[in-house]
Amino acid sequence: MTLTAAVIGGGPAGAACAWRLARAGVRTLLFERDPEREKPCGGGLTERAFVALPELRDLSLPWLEVCEWQMFGPYRQSVTMNLGQPVRILSRRELDGALRREAAKAGAALVFEPVRRLAPRVGGGWQINDHAADVVVGAGGMRDPVAQHVGMALKREEQAVALGRFVPGRFPPRIITSFLPERRGYLWWFPRPDHASYGLELPATRFDTATAKKILQEFAAKHLPGVDVNQGAPYGWTGPAVAEPSDPLRRYAGPDWLLVGDAAGLCDGTTGEGLSYALASGVLAAEAIARGEPASYERRLRADVLPDLTKAAHLQPKFYRPRLLAMAMWLLKRSPTYRQISRELAHGRQNYLTLRERTLGNGPRICWEALQNRVDDSPEIAGKK
C-alpha cells in the first residue's frame, strides 16, 4: 500500500519536504491556507541554505545579490563588511511559491485550504479536514496545528516578536542591521529586487509595540536618509527564540508525526536566521518518512542540527553584552582574520560549536592585526549586482 504524507504549511520547510517526498514516490498532500501571503522576514539565502537544498541553485528565482553588510552597535559604533560571497535576498512569496510549484511538478497535491480539523484516525494515521494520511508533518509556523495537538507549541518565553514594513522601491544592495544590547534584539534592512524588508525583532517578554515603533522611526531618521519607511505594507509576527533546543523533554517527532522549521522552533537564537534550518529540517523529515521511519527524524535532528542551535542559543545573552558587542565590531574593522571568521559564520560555513576554539586559536593573529590597524576603515564594497 502506498504511504500518504500530509504536510501542513507551504513555506520553505513544508514545501521542501513535500518536494523531496513526492520525488521519492510518496503520495503527498501539501496544505497551504494563504499561498499569496508575503512572509515578514529578511528573506536572505546564505550558503548554508543552498547546502541544505542544492536544488535551489537550479531555480530561476528573482533575487538580489548582496555582498555589503553595514552594522551599527552600542556606543555609536558602525562597521561595513564585505561578505565575499553574496547573500541572495528575495521575496518570501516568490521563494515559497517556487518551492511549492516544484513540489507539484514532482507529484505533490497542493491543497489550498486552512486546516479546520486535525485528529488521529481509528486504526492509525490522521484525518486532516476531508483528507486521510498515514503521517503528518507540521510545517505551519508558530501556530502549527500539529505542534499544538502533540503539546509542543512554543511558550511565550520561547518566542520573539517582530514589527516592520515592506518599503517599495529599488535600493542599494546593502544589508543594514543595528543591535539593541539593552533589549537583546536587533533591527534589519534587507533590500529585495523591488522593495526592502525593514523590521525589528525583540524577545516576546520584552516587546512593546509603542517602543518598537519609536526605535524603528529613530533608526530610519538617522541611517536611512530620504527613505519614507512609513509607506508600504506593515507587518507583525512571532518567531522562535528557544533557549534549549536540545532539551530532552522537547519532542520533534513521533511514530506518525514530525515538526519542521518554525513549528519545531528551529532558528538561530543569536542572528534570528531560520531559512536554512527550515530547508534542512524539511529535507531530513522527507528522508525519514521515505525510509518508513518517521521517528528517526528526531535522532538525525539531535545529531546534526540541534547541537549547533543550542550553542547559538547559549551564546545569545553573551553576544548582546554591550562591551562584548562593541569589541567584536572593533575587531571587525581592524582584523582580516576576524572578518573572515565572521563571514564564514554568516554564511553557515563556520558553526557555533567550534567558533570559540577557532577564534581563540587565532587570537594572537587577530590581536596583532587589530593593534597594527592595517585595515582601511572605509566600507568594503564588492560583488554588487
For residue 374, what pLDDT band results from cuts at 50, 70 and 90?
Answer: low
- pLDDT, tens digit (0-9, with 9 covering 90-100), for 310-336: 999 999 999 999 999 999 999 999 999
Mean pLDDT, residues 239-265: 96
For residue 169, give every residue at least 6 positions away whose Cβ sits within 8 Å of its Cβ, in sequence order, or none. Answer: 194, 195, 196, 227
pLDDT of residue 1: 55
Mean pLDDT, residues 202-208: 92
For residue 384, what pLDDT band results from cuts at 50, 70 and 90?
Answer: very low
- pLDDT, tens digit (0-9, with 9 covering 90-100), for 57-97: 999 999 999 999 999 988 888 999 999 999 999 999 999 99
For residue 204, give the C-alpha cell. 516576546
* 377 has a pLDDT exceeding 60: no
Query: Please, what's the b/e burial string for 304-339 (b: 16 or more CB within 10 A of its CB; e: otherwise)?
Result: ebbebbbbbbebbeebbeeeebbebbbbbbbbebbb
For residue 275, give the C-alpha cell. 531559512
pLDDT of residue 26: 97
For residue 38, what pLDDT band results from cuts at 50, 70 and 90?
Answer: confident
State the DSSP string of 178-225: EEETTTTEEEEEEE-SSEEEEEEEEEGGG--HHHHHHHHHHHHHHHST
Domains and CATH numbers, the chain: 4-43+91-154+243-313 (3.50.50.60), 157-240 (3.30.9.10), 318-372 (no CATH)
- Beta partners for 198? 165, 189
Cβ atoms within 10 Å, residue 340: 13
What percentage of the chain carries pLDDT values higher than 70?
Answer: 97
Mean pLDDT, residues 164-170: 95
pLDDT of residue 339: 95
* 383 has a pLDDT exceeding 90: no
pLDDT of residue 193: 95
pLDDT of residue 44: 93
CA 262-322-226 angle, 5° bins: 75
For residue 346, what pLDDT band results from cuts at 50, 70 and 90?
Answer: very high
